[in-house]
Structure 1
Amino acid sequence: MWVSNQEKSSFVACLSVAALALPGLMQTAQAGRVEESYNADFQYGHYSESSSRIDVNTYEAALSAPIGKSMTGSVALVKDVVAGASPKNNALVNGEIKQVISGASQKALTSECGKSICDSRDGIAPSITYFFDSGSVNLNGGFSRENDYTSRYVGTAFSKDFNKKLTMANFSASVAFDEIDPTDRPALKGSKTTQQYLLGFSQVINKDSLMLSNVTFAYSSGYLSDPYKMVNFYDGGLYVDSRPDTRPRDKFQFAWLTQYIRHFGDFNDAALHVDYRFSTDSWGVNAHTAEISWHQPVGDGWQIIPRVRYYSQDQADFYQAVGNGDALQKGVYSSDYRLAGFGAVTAGIHVSKEIVGLTPLTHLKFQLGGEYYNHSAGLQLGGNNASNFADFNYFLITGSFNLKF
């Protein structure tokens, strides 16, 4: 069963974000610098939602290697295994809105995992970077496939140093082509295209401070609905009809991220990271994200990183917990809880151990992390009780190790 891109932002993407912490997957261009060693990274992540709704296991591996004196090549592999149940619509029960969770279909009951959502995703993402004296150019791409969803993308990135290497400018562009083929709803088969552009810079303020900022523009067109979500329509509290989730066929997005990093030599070379991100789109979803983390070395190669993140978003213009006649006339409607107004708080901690000077390895690093996420309508900026029926939480646990040789 396909789970939409937005749903993946609720769980699989959490694992993908965690994977970005892998050194091999963070081989972003550093101007004029070629990684001279081979890097191998492996990570496992487990995501579990409350009420036994969704469980995801993710396995990721990445390998990067120098190519001559001016290039680095890398390839990343990922496998996600998803099982569980997901909200499919909302219903009025004695005047109160309740989420309806997808039940195990007969097909699912005879499948290996016996769940209504039982799927896996396999993906590969190769990349090559060319370095020159004051910058770098990167070409990348990727392909992933699951039972009813196929995605392909190509991209490029460019970075250049200025101001005696105290300033770096970055630009990237990518385009993705996705095909959606619902297993039990062939009439809703569709495709979509997403273009994304990033422009940013980093600035060394002084010997202890660094600031990074970037803006992202994206445009998606095509089939942007979720074929497995439905909207129940009511008139005067009485059930009228049920229609497939129907969203606009295009979306513009803008996001601005700023990060400040401060080094504290008196605290054993600790570092404070403070992030703020604002995003908005043509669907009316305005979102704010603030995060703070403390990177604390504790001696003998150990490091502890506690962090806290707060997120708040407004509901989409066409979101309704249950549909009414006006939405039906307009032709766009969704009761997907991910498009509702809500807030979320995440708290987590990562512990790592680095060992240097091994033979034949030059570097070995282990990392273990965990986080707790609480999604609540009441946590939205300004407060909101309208969609508290969709409140939930999850746990995410990750483990990884990096080898250099």
Structure 2
Amino acid sequence: MQLINNKKPSKNKVNITQLLTVATCTLLGTSAQAEEEKSWEFDTALMYYGETDRVQATELILAGTKTFEDEKTLNLKLTVDALTGASANGAVAQPNVQTFTRPSGKESFNTPANETPLDDTFRDTRLQFNAQWTQPFAEDYRISGGLHLSKEYDYLSVGLNANIARDFNQKNTTLSAGVAYSNDTITPEGDIPTAFAEMVPPGNELNRSGTEDDKTTVDLLLGVTQVIDRQTIMQFNYSYSQVDGYLTDPFKVVSLVNSNGMSEKQLYENRPDKRVKNSIFWQTKHHFLSNSIIDFSYRYFWDDWEITSHTVDARYRIPLGDSYIEPHIRYYTQDAAEFYQPFQLSSNPLPSYMSADYRLGKMDGITVGVKYGMPMKNNTELSFRLEFFQQSSKSTGVEEPGVLNEVDLYPSINAVVAQVSYSF
């Protein structure tokens, strides 16, 4: 589970896959709503995510659902994130102390010998608001539309989405199609670095290409949800995404090293300005006669950066009287992007694109955890979740010269996730 582990994780966009889960929730009784019930329902959560010696995040979520007459619903969600800690800048570890310039260009920081360079001034707060309206359109049809707004210190994302669903086979089969569009603007501290420009000491003139840049994202989704029997439901989705614009991380560098593996300088990375992503998703939920529920899913992802990934996720809800316990395990594996390299030899010509960001590298990740939920008064519920996450980066087969054989170029990341939720 790759949650929040860097200055610029993937931006939160409206997940139009979620628009297809209504039938699943209804069958399993997790969010059934009687037609005559018109009051608001709320879900609140407070989550903590912490990496060892790296990023720490606290997230507060407030979501509300209002059901009107004629099966019309309004969903509102407010998310507030506070992130602090240290973030890897992409440079390689060295057997000596290294000095790096902070993004502002006004200060520097030192990294001890044999340690991965981490910028410890990582601070950010994100405020995100989502709204979604769903209603019947005609017999056996439902339409949905929504918007999202996300704002950080140096990042603004605005988006819209729309979805249409058609029921067949006495509402046992649902076909769905959705589209989402977002426009993101980044205004990083210290402005936009010129591709492959050298990181210079504080006080020197920075080589910058502008104060801000943007990107646009178009997501398309096709899905089918099928009721297999009274206890089982399946879902299949195909999603396509095209991203255009500024996709480089302005805070990442690549170390230029000599034949002995010693770092000579740091160059700002450069990524393509277009990315096409595809994925297929399969999910099955089965409600056993013992009232336990298994939820299993698999996702295969590929893109034109030559990244491929596999994700397997399984949850098993076990009733304990009126309460329940839900063990969870998730496994993720990823191949590296074609332009990923942990360092660049100074004797080789610079490629067109290059990044040492470990998120684009080869890796495995595993999450194990458990959730405990218990009913409260007036049909409310209180739940607790605790999970442990480990991400292991791997070598892509690049030969490591000289001193780079003596340092850890692919450090693992360990994290803990704790969450408390209350529904009323």
C-alpha deviation, 1:103, in angstroms: 10
1:46 has 2:45 as partner: no
The structure 2 residue matched to 1:157, chosen from 133, 154, 163, is: 163
Structure 2: stretches of 5+ with no match in the other structure: 27-32, 110-118, 193-207, 397-404
Task: Please give the residue correspondences for 1:3-402 in structure 2 after superposition, counting only pairs within 5 Å.
Answer: 7-9=8-10, 29=22, 36-51=38-53, 53-91=54-92, 93-94=94-95, 116-132=121-137, 133-186=139-192, 187=208, 189-236=212-259, 237-265=261-289, 267=290, 269-300=291-322, 302-324=323-345, 329-355=350-376, 358=378, 363-377=379-393, 389-402=410-423
User: In 1, distance between residues paired with 2:338 and 2:91?
Assistant: 18
Identical amino acids, percent of aligned pairs = 24
Normalising by structure 1, we get a TM-score of 0.82
Is the CA contact 1:312–1:379 (under 8 Å) kept in the aligned structure 2? no
User: In 2, distance between residues paired with 1:4 and 1:218?
Assistant: 23
Structure 1 residues 217 and 142: CA distance shift in structure 2, 3 A: same
Q: State which drifts further: 122-131 or 184-193.
A: 184-193
CA deviations on 1:118-156 (whole Å, 9 max, x unpaired) are 110111111111125423111100111111000001001
Structure 1 residues 107 and 26: CA distance shift in structure 2, 3 A: farther
C-alpha deviation, 1:289, in angstroms: 0.7
Structure 1 residue identity aligned to 2:282: T
- Size of the alignment, in residue pairs? 372
Is the CA contact 2:221–2:240 (under 8 Å) kept in the aligned structure 1? yes
C-alpha deviation, 1:67, in angstroms: 3.6
Q: Secondary structure at the match of 1:389?
A: coil
CA deviations on 1:284-340 (whole Å, 9 max, x unpaired) are 11000111211112112x111101111100011000001235985322100001111
RMSD, aligned α-carbons = 3.5
Structure 1: stretches of 5+ with no match in the other structure: none
C-alpha deviation, 1:364, in angstroms: 0.6
Q: State which drifts further: 85-94 or 210-219.
A: 85-94
User: In 2, distance between residues paired with 1:42 and 1:213?
Assistant: 29
Q: Secondary structure at the match of 2:272?
A: coil
More helix by share: 1
User: In 2, distance between residues paired with 1:233 and 1:379?
Assistant: 18
Q: Secondary structure at the match of 1:77?
A: strand
Structure 1 residues 379 and 129: CA distance shift in structure 2, 3 A: farther
User: In 2, distance between residues paired with 1:324 and 1:74?
Assistant: 52
Structure 1 residue identity aligned to 2:191: R
Structure 1 residues 135 and 387: CA distance shift in structure 2, 3 A: farther
